[in-house]
């Protein structure tokens, strides 16, 4: 079964979000998503300073099988892209919620609250989708 | 994120067929995909680990979706001399196999296949799963005048055991005489051994066997081999292995809209002897006389990133082509591809990956053979 940590928020499109102590957000793809993709071989992360709107593709993750866009769960400005994934894309497979993070961003003030899922809601979603 | 469908998988018939090993794949936790109308294992665990197992030791594949056809009758050879662009007249020793294409009258590739010469009244062909119905219809249409019986061997299960240790692993499970006979098989030969048809062929660029045998025995062979450490491998690894080996995939790299000379398959076309009247010959001679306008080449991506089928290829002097198969090469740890480009293409090209141009070098496939990189 997929690992779905209870302290994170999720999207219907299989991204996770973590709120860091400084108020910025860390974003990656879920364990379920990395499993569905298979071995990751190439990752393109966003430039620092890039402004993203909700649902905008901000990264590309490529497995041996296919390329997939990753969508920004919230609007904001990128404060870091995980450059280490350039030489170690497989970190997403081995540690999707840790070393496999894709970007950090500062959410824009006053933006509409995005619709995010709790861990329980996300678990329900992937159970319905099937493995 | 958007999870895409694997690019080499064409959507098939609504209800996929299952091989006799289906339950075994499920027990092993394989991710199954539809391939050519069959529910087949894509991978059991890590596709890259499966790939390396074949390059370094041994892996086993269920390839029972492939269609085995026996061609029987006194004029079996005459039929294949007419049907195939390669020349079965080259097959002198019993058991010898030949790779070639079945063309239509305009030299479009109906399918690629392997034909084994068993004896003068019996040849065996192995054709692709996705083309099974049209292949059988085409064969039957042309077999009538040769008085041939076309018999599909759906009773046979087919396993491929591939890798530097593959032959020894299989031989260790045969009788003493069978083991000696199997290890004595030359490349591209097959024969009946211990009641199984064992051939020294494959689709990986490694040594190994393809084995056709009854379903129940196939399950036992699978279990005996994997118990001894042979790694179960899915279609995902099969695709990266064949692409590293520079082998074409029907439907990706050639089909009825392309001819062998623009598909890297000129070596499988036998225009000698000039008197052999095979289907598609006149069209091929006309193409050769005016010169093929396009060719299939290997590409090696200089940057990071992954080449994929249908990406556009741009020539520095103008003109463009398209990638027909692309992937990440686990052996080279870079992306490789086959691409159909104008015949004038030389040295290097650019590939459009999601709107950005990336440098790629033209190389002659194969990229990898017998565990060794052939490009740098």
| B305:A39 CB<8 A | no
CB nearest to B4's CB, from A14, A67, A70: A67
Q: What global pTM score does this model have? A: 0.92
Q: Give the per-residue pLDDT at A2.
A: 83
Bond prior to B273 in cis (omega within 30° of 0): yes
B33 Cα to chain A: minimum distance (Å)? 12
Q: Indicate whether B5 pLDDT > 50.
A: no
List, in sequence order, every residue forming a beta bridge with B208; answer none if it has no partner.
B162
Dihedral sign, Cα of residue B251, residue B61, residue A96, residue B327: negative
Let me know: does A59 contact A70? Beta carbons within 8 Å.
Answer: yes
Report the alpha-carbon distance of residue B362 to residue B299 in Å, rounded: 5
A42 in B contact zone (CB under 8 Å): yes
Question: What tokens appear for A32 in the block?
Answer: 């379920």
Q: What is the pLDDT of residues B54-111, one digit of tens each?
A: 999 999 999 999 999 999 999 999 999 999 999 999 999 999 999 999 999 999 999 9
Q: What is the pLDDT of residues B9-63, one digit of tens each?
A: 444 446 789 999 999 999 999 999 999 899 999 999 999 999 999 999 999 999 9
- pLDDT > 70 fraction of chain B, expressed in percent and rounded: 96
List, in sequence order, every residue forming a beta bridge with B71; answer none if it has no partner.
B123, B150
Nearest CA in chain A to B44: A38
| B4:A68 CB<8 A | yes
Residue B229 CB neighbours (<10 A): 11
Q: Give the per-residue pLDDT at A72.
A: 95
- Average pLDDT across each block of 10 residues of chain A; the chain has 131 residues. List them in order: 91 96 96 94 96 95 92 96 95 97 92 82 90 49
The alpha carbon of B233 is separated from its chain's Cα centroid by a whole number of angstroms, namely: 16
Report the alpha-carbon distance of residue A89 to residue A87 in Å, rounded: 6
| A13:B306 CB<8 A | no
Which helix (H) or strand (E) covers residue B70, if one does? strand B67-72
Please provide the DSSP assignment of chain A as one string. -----TTSEE-TTSEEEEE-TTS-EEEEE-HHHHHHH-SEEEEE-PPTT-EE-TT-EEEEEEESS-EEEEE-SS-EEEEEE-GGGGT-TTHHHH-TTTTT--EEEEEPTTPPPP--B-HHHHHHHHHHH--
Please provide the DSSP assignment of B124-137 as one string. EEEE-STTHHHHHH
Q: What is the pLDDT of residues B311-330, one digit of tens each?
A: 999 999 999 999 999 999 99
Let me know: does A104 contact A24? Beta carbons within 8 Å.
Answer: yes
Q: How many CA atoms lie within 13 A of B29 on its CB side?
A: 5
CB nearest to B328's CB, from A37, A41, A68: A41
| A62:B5 CB<8 A | no
Coil/strand/helix, residue B113: strand
Who wins on pLDDT, A112 or B288?
A: B288
Q: Give the per-residue pLDDT at B2.
A: 62
B184 Cα to chain A: minimum distance (Å)? 36
Question: Mean pLDDT of all residues in chain B?
Answer: 95
Residue B194 CB neighbours (<10 A): 15
Residue B141 CB neighbours (<10 A): 9
Q: Give the per-residue pLDDT at B131.
A: 96
A58 in B contact zone (CB under 8 Å): no
* Residues on chain B bordering chain A, Cβ-to-Cβ distance under 8 angstroms: 1-7, 42-43, 46-48, 236, 240, 304-306, 308, 327-328, 330, 335, 354
Q: Which residues of A touch B305 (CB under 8 A)?
A: 42, 44, 62
Q: Give the per-residue pLDDT at B15.
A: 78
Nearest CA in chain A to B325: A65
A33 in B contact zone (CB under 8 Å): yes
Let me know: does A36 contact A73? Beta carbons within 8 Å.
Answer: no
Q: Which residue has the tokens 């083991």?
A: B179
Average pLDDT over residues B141-158: 95
Q: Which residue has the tokens 């098939």?
A: B12
Q: Which residue has the tokens 């894509």?
A: B42
Report the alpha-carbon distance of residue B228 to residue B169 in Å, rounded: 8
- pLDDT > 90 fraction of chain B, expressed in percent and rounded: 94
Average pLDDT over residues B123-143: 97
B32 Cα to chain A: minimum distance (Å)? 11
Q: What is the pLDDT of residues B232-275, one digit of tens each?
A: 999 999 999 999 999 999 999 999 999 999 999 999 999 999 99
Nearest CA in chain B to A30: B1
Average pLDDT over residues B195-216: 97
Let me know: does A8 contact A119? Beta carbons within 8 Å.
Answer: yes
């Amino acid at each position: 079964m997929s690992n779905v940590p209870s302290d994170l928020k999720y999207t219907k499109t299989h991204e996770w979000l973590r709120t860091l102590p400084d108020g910025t957000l860390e974003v990656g793809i879920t364990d379920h998503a990395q499993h569905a993709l298979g071995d990751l071989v190439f990752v393109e992360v966003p430039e620092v300073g890039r402004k993203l709107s909700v649902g905008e593709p901000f990264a590309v993750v490529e497995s041996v099988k296919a390329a997939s866009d990753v969508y920004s769960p919230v609007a904001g400005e990128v404060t870091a892209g995980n450059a280490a994934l350039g030489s170690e894309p497989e970190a997403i497979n081995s540690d999707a919620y840790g070393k496999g993070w894709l970007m950090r961003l500062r959410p824009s003030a006053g933006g509409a609250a995005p619709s995010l899922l709790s861990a329980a809601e996300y678990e329900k979603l992937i159970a319905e989708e099937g493995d | 994120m958007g999870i895409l469908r694997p690019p080499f998988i064409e959507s098939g018939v609504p209800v996929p067929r299952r091989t006799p090993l289906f339950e075994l794949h499920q027990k092993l936790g394989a991710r199954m995909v539809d391939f050519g109308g069959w529910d087949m294992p894509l991978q059991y665990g890590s596709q890259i680990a499966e790939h390396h197992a074949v390059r370094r030791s041994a892996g086993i594949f269920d390839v029972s979706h492939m269609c085995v056809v026996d061609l029987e009758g006194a004029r079996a050879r005459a039929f294949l001399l007419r049907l195939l662009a390669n020349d079965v007249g080259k097959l002198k020793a019993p058991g010898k196999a030949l790779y070639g294409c079945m063309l239509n009258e305009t030299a479009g590739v109906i399918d690629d296949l392997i034909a084994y010469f068993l004896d003068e009244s019996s040849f065996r062909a192995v054709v692709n799963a996705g083309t099974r119905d049209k292949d059988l219809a085409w064969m039957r249409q042309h077999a009538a005048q040769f008085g041939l019986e076309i018999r599909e061997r759906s009773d046979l299960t087919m396993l491929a055991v591939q890798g530097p240790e593959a032959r020894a692993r299989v031989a260790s499970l045969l009788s003493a005489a069978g083991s000696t006979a199997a290890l004595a098989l030359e490349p591209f030969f097959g024969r009946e051994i211990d009641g199984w048809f064992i051939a020294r062929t494959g689709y990986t660029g490694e040594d190994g066997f393809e084995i056709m045998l009854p379903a129940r025995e196939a399950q036992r062979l699978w279990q005996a081999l994997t118990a001894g450490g042979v790694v179960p491998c899915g279609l995902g690894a099969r695709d990266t292995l064949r692409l590293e080996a520079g082998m074409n995939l029907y439907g990706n790299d050639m089909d009825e809209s392309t001819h062998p000379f623009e598909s890297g398959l000129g070596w499988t076309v036998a225009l000698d002897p000039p008197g052999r009247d095979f289907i598609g010959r006149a069209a091929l001679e006309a193409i050769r006389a005016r010169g093929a306008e396009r060719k299939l080449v290997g590409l090696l991506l200089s940057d990071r990133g992954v080449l994929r089928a249908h990406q556009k290829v741009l020539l520095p002097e103008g003109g463009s082509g398209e990638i027909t198969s692309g992937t990440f090469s686990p052996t080279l740890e870079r992306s490789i591809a086959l691409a159909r480009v104008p015949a004038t293409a030389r040295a290097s090209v650019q590939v459009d990956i999601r709107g950005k141009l990336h440098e790629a070098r033209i190389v002659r496939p194969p990229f990898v053979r017998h565990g060794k990189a052939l490009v740098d």
